[in-house]
Amino acid sequence: MTLRLIILGRQGAGKGTQSIRISSRYGIPHISTGDMLRAAVVEGNELGIRAKAIMDAGDLVPDDLMMSIVTERLSADDAQGGFLLDGFPRTAAQATWLDTTLAPGGIDMALTIEVPDEVVIERMLARKRPDDTEDAIRRRLDLYEEQTKPLLSHYAERVATIDGHAAEDTVEGRVAEVIDAYLA
Ligand code: ADP
């Protein structure tokens, strides 16, 4: 059985940490579009050159570019048994595109990790990524509210909301509980 998951949640909600844990727990690849873009920037390839300024400003990389990156990644062998997509979809166009790409089934479940505002900002300022300046953080949080949060209603029938304001192990247990219930 395949397990095709996406994970939503604001920046600083602990998506990245939980994604790594869930991916190893269920043996599915963790596909983080942010990690892929950052790798392209470090490599200095054409994608990286295009994406760098956009990412530094906290803006969104154009949909068509994201779709082609994700198309390529999802066609790899290791993604055929399922995956955990982290950071994609982020816009309605990306979500609609993903539905079509995965038709007829679509994704199995959309996980969303929720944490209070003050925790998000505190966690984000504590990490040391080049795009974690205060302006870029604010921009990313605004874009999340505006473009990504509405995806929760797009996936209304398959969303699992997880309270992320707890220790990492506890949050992992909560995520595993909803996935196990789905698989049972
Ligand atoms: P965060 O969750 O902190 O925003 P990510 O690692 O998911 O960080 O993404 C970092 C940056 O990469 C985003 O701010 C954006 O510029 C770009 N990016 C990642 N995924 C997407 C996407 N699906 N669509 C558009 N831009 C994206």
For 12, counting Cβ atoms within 10 Å of its Cβ (0-12 exposed, 13-18 middle, 19+ buried), the class is: buried
Decide whether any atom of ligand 1 lies within 6 Å of the 102 Cβ: no
- Position 60 scores a pLDDT of 97
Residue with CA at minimum distance from ligand 1 atom 23 = 88
Q: What is the pLDDT of residues 68-104, one digit of tens each?
A: 999 999 999 999 999 999 999 999 999 999 999 999 9
Residues facing 83 on adjacent strands: 4
Give the model's confidence band at 119: pLDDT under 50 very low, under 70 low, under 90 confident, else very high.
confident
Residue with CA at minimum distance from ligand 1 atom 5 = 34
Strand, helix or coil for residue 129: coil
Residue with CA at minimum distance from ligand 1 atom 12 = 34
Query: Is 14 inside any structural domain?
Result: yes
Query: Is 178 inside any structural domain?
Result: yes
CATH of the domain at 175: 3.40.50.300
Tokens of 123: 């966690």
Query: Is 119 inside any structural domain?
Result: yes
Residue 64 has pLDDT above 90, yes or no: yes
Q: What is the pLDDT of residues 125-184, one digit of tens each?
A: 888 888 888 889 889 999 999 999 999 999 999 999 999 999 999 999 999 999 999 999
Query: Is 152 inside any structural domain?
Result: yes
Query: Is 63 inside any structural domain?
Result: no
| Range of the structural domain that residue 152 is part of | 3-31+82-183
Q: Number of folded domains in the chain?
A: 1
Query: Is 58 inside any structural domain?
Result: no
C-alpha 145 to ligand 1 mean position (Å): 14
> Structure pTM?
0.93
Helix (H) or strand (E) holding 30: strand 30-32
Residue 107 has pLDDT above 80, yes or no: yes
Q: What is the pLDDT of residues 14-51, one digit of tens each?
A: 999 999 999 999 999 999 999 999 999 999 999 999 99
When mean pLDDT is compared across 5-9, 73-77, 119-123, the lowest value belongs to 119-123
